[in-house]
Amino acid sequence: MRKPLIAGNWKLHKTIPEALELVEALKQNLADITDVEVVVAPVFTALVPVAKVLEGSSIVLAAQNCYFENNGAFTGEVSPALLKDAGCSHVILGHSERRQLFGETDELINRKVKAVLAEGLTPIFCIGETLEERENDEMMDVLKRQVTVGLKGLSESQMLNVVVAYEPVWAIGTGKTATGEQAQVAHAFVRGLLAGLFGTPLAEQVRILYGGSVKPDNVDGLMAQMDIDGTLVGGASLKAGDFIRIARFEKN
């Protein structure tokens, strides 16, 4: 019922020629995939050239961030309308690196989620606890706050266009992946939160991705979990072979 979504977050990597080389390889090797939605998120400067290569393919384009205003005196920012103009259909929001390194709050992320939805784009809304929060038994409180504030004020129809990404901060870029069972516990909890806010039938339709050191050798176990509907991949999305294998995960 929930179509799997595999997204590659290229972070601050790859020049335009490097981005084109990677996306050409993905296009050639993933052209026949129709039962999985594949999304790539290059740096801003590579969005337009990558969009041109992706024309006519089923792979779609995401930005890694945006501002909540569409124009005005906001030096250095980029808006949802401009990202749509550049060919994006998705925008990653609230990534833990934005929260930790750039001080993004739940309230700010909520404004961004609404702005992205207003432009008809799909937010990939990231949440997740730090190691300290997990060890202090605060994981559920943190996820509850992030979900409640980050998705505040969304209508049911808007929520249907949101993709949630659960990314435990301790697993991002560290090589430490949550086990399938650990991830499933968190995903089921998040789906329960969505059910509380938007009702069970709607929560059952929302895709919840797992992110945090997803690799070719752990993707199958993660994707076998009932509430894991896809993955948000950082490091392994920079290598064509690894990302192709992840997008072609084995279904149980």
**Spatial contact of 5 and 229, defined as CB atoms under 8 Å apart:** yes
State which residue, 60 or 124, has the beta carbon closest to ligand PEP. 124
Q: Which residues contact 231 (CB under 8 A, 6 or more apart)?
A: 6, 7, 209, 210, 211, 214, 219, 222, 223, 246
Instruction: Please say if 18 is a catalytic residue.
Output: no
Least distance CB 9 / ligand PEP (angstroms): 4
Q: Which residues bind ligand PEP (CB under 6 A)?
A: 9, 11, 167, 172-173, 211-214, 232-236
User: Looking at 97, 104, 119, 167, which residue is catalytic?
Assistant: 167
* 147 or 172: CB nearest ligand PEP: 172
Cβ at position 211, least distance to ligand PEP in Å: 4
Catalytic residue among 95, 97, 129, 187: 95
Task: Check if 95 is active-site.
Answer: yes
DSSP-assigned beta bridge partners for residue 41: 9
Q: How far is the CB of 234 from ligand PEP (least distance, A)?
A: 2
Residue 6 tokens, joined: 């595999």
- 61 Cβ neighbours under 8 A, 6+ residues apart: 39, 40, 41, 42, 47, 50, 51, 54, 86, 87, 88, 89, 90
Q: Which is nearer to ligand PEP, 91 or 214 (CB)?
A: 214
* In the complex, minimum distance from the CB of residue 69 to ligand PEP, in angstroms, rounded to a whole number: 25
Question: What is the spatial distance between Cα 158 and Cα 140, in angstroms, rounded to a whole number?
Answer: 24
Which residue type occupies 185? V
**Nearest residue by C-beta to ligand PEP?**
234
Residue number with CB closer to ligand PEP (198 or 219): 219
Chain CA centroid to CA 108, Å:
17
Residue type, 193: L
**Nearest residue to 44 (alpha-carbon basis) of 59, 21, 61, 29:** 61
Nearer to ligand PEP, 111 or 239 (CB): 239
Minimum CB separation of residue 47 from ligand PEP in Å reads 17
* 3-state class (DSSP) for residue 164: strand
Which amino acids are annotated catalytic? 95, 167
